[in-house]
Amino acid sequence: MSDIGVYLYAVTQDTGRAPPEGLRGVLGHEVTAVRRAGLAAYVSEVPLDQFGEEPLRRLLEELDWVEDVARSHHRVVETLSTGTPVAPVRLVTVYHGLDQVGDLLTRRRADFLRVLCRVSGRREWGVKAYATRPPERPPEGPASESAASGPAGAGHGTAESPGTAYLRQRKESLRGRREAWRSAAERAERLHAALGEIADGACRHRPQDPHLSGRDDVMVLNGAYLLDPAREPEFSEALAAFRGEGMEVELTGPWAPYSFTSLDLDTDPGTGTTGPGADTPEEGSDGR
């Protein structure tokens, strides 16, 4: 038994080129390529005292550790994706050795090629839209006047106590916000549809919590779009058309096509979940 595991980042078609020089993965370990069946799997060594089952179970609960691994993983995927279509693999996919990774490429060749074909020549962009808060209306007319100069508010013939006026304004303000939110949500739907027309793939993810997004505004769209670079101007125009009017639009990317390479190879027909530490990955049941 070795105390070193093999961490898998991503799979690409084998271009014959070496990984970008000096590319480092998690814990700063060098990234190398396993080539088999016309595919290349990018891997690095990881110590099993961190990436073994038991340690992982603990460490995955430590935010700092997860952040380091996530950023390293992401960096490798991003770097690879600038040269060739890439299929990112989910965080912390670890094998016992290079042979197992090679077997995987052989066994799942068709699946990988299908995914790579889909994202080839395209890039993923993220679009987040926020409903911006309507500005607080300043206490206007009757309320401030009545508070300042007694119950003689013009336009409201009868006296409205400051308290009542406050409540009324508060209610109006809330209603205003609700309407603003509804309107932004509707616009977000139209935006998603418009972008989806231009993109080769579109999907929506859960809106992020305001603290996660780092903004106070409510996220009304968290979309991902797979885009042919030739259509980027069109995409950009569509985005611009939806800016303003109570909605802010934020663009991120280009990303490696994380959102369009979702493929669950974990459910091999005829293979139940294997026990811990299985020395061989599940046998392919497709006969290849």
Partner 1 sequence: MTEPRPRPVLRESYPPSVSAGGGRQAGNLGDILERVLDRGIVIAGDIRVNLLDIELLTIKLRLVIASVDTARELGIDWWEHDPWLSGRDRELIEENRRLRQRLAAVEDRLGEIRESEWPREVERRRE
Instruction: State the binding string over 148-187 for partner 1 (x if CB under 8 A, else -).
Output: --------------------------x--xx--xx--x--
CB of 63 to partner 1, least distance (A): 6
Cα distances (Å, whole numbers) of residue 280 to 44, 45, 55, 275, 287: 19, 18, 20, 11, 16
Among positions 186-205, residues that touch partner 1 (CB under 8 A) are: 205
User: From the CB of 140, what's the least distance to partner 1, in Å?
Assistant: 21
> Nearest distance from residue 144's CB to partner 1, in Å?
22
Task: Output phi, psi for 139, to 5 deg.
Answer: -55, 120
93 scored as a contact of partner 1 (CB under 8 A): yes
**108: burial class by Cβ within 10 Å (0-12, 13-18, 19+)?**
buried
Contact indicator for 247, 131 with CB cutoff of 8 Å: yes
3 binds partner 1, rule: CB under 8 A: no
| Chosen residue from 35, 47, 78, 147 binding partner 1 by CB under 8 A | 78
When asked if residue 94 is in the footprint of partner 1 (CB under 8 A), the reply is yes
Q: Is 221 in the site for partner 1 (CB under 8 A)?
A: no
Of the candidate residues 95, 146, 198, 223, the single one contacting partner 1 (CB under 8 A): 95
Residue number with CB closer to partner 1 (82 or 164): 82
Considering the rule CB under 8 A, would residue 266 count as an interface residue with partner 1? Answer: yes
Applying CB under 8 A, does 115 fall inside the site for partner 1?
Answer: yes
Q: Are 180 and 131 in contact (CB under 8 A)?
A: yes
Instruction: Give the tokens for residue 18.
Output: 């070496």
| Interacting residues with partner 1 between 267 and 286 (CB under 8 A) | 268, 273-282
User: Taken in order 50, 51, 52, 56, is the CA torsion positive or negative?
Assistant: positive
Q: How far apart are CA 11 and CA 31, in angstroms?
A: 13
The helix (run of H) or strand (run of E) holding residue 48 is: helix 48-51
Closest distance of CB 148 from partner 1, Å: 27
Which residue type sits at 189? E
Phi, psi of 94 (to 5 degrees): -125, 135
* Shorter beta-carbon distance to partner 1: residue 88 or 153: 88
The answer to whether 136 contacts partner 1 (rule: CB under 8 A) is no
Residue whose C-alpha is closest to residue 256's, from 77, 53, 107, 27: 77
String of contacts with partner 1 for each residue 37-56, x by CB under 8 A: -----------x--xxx--x
